[in-house]
Amino acid sequence: MAINKEHLLKNKLIDENKKECCPKFNPKSWNGKILKWKNKKFIKDKVFAIFYMPVNFSSVIKKLMKKIDSANNKCVDWIGL
């Protein structure tokens, strides 16, 4: 049996008036902004994926954090690309 929105509303399993957890991305707020990447350090590794789903993401992040800690550095502006 496929569960559709009407079924969920009828059985009060979801609230129709409840807002989404995250607002939709608005690219206009990024127009005209310049990001300065001078003197920013990078650390790079690879994540194994099956059907575009990352499999070992947490172990890769842990390994990278150990590398950062062993170099006596901190991850201040944490950005994953």
Percent residues over pLDDT 70 in the chain: 70
User: What's the whole-number mean pLDDT along residues 12-32?
Assistant: 70
Among all chains, which residue has been given the structure tokens 């990078």? Answer: 42
DSSP class per residue in 10-76:
HTTSS-TTPPPSSPPP-GGGGTT-----TT---------EETTEESSHHHHHHHHHHHHHHTT----
Q: Cα–chain-centroid distance for residue 35?
A: 19
Strand 53-54 vs strand 49-50: parallel, antiparallel, or unpaired? antiparallel
3-state secondary structure at position 6: helix
**pLDDT, tens only, 34-72:** 878 788 778 889 999 999 999 999 999 999 999 999 998
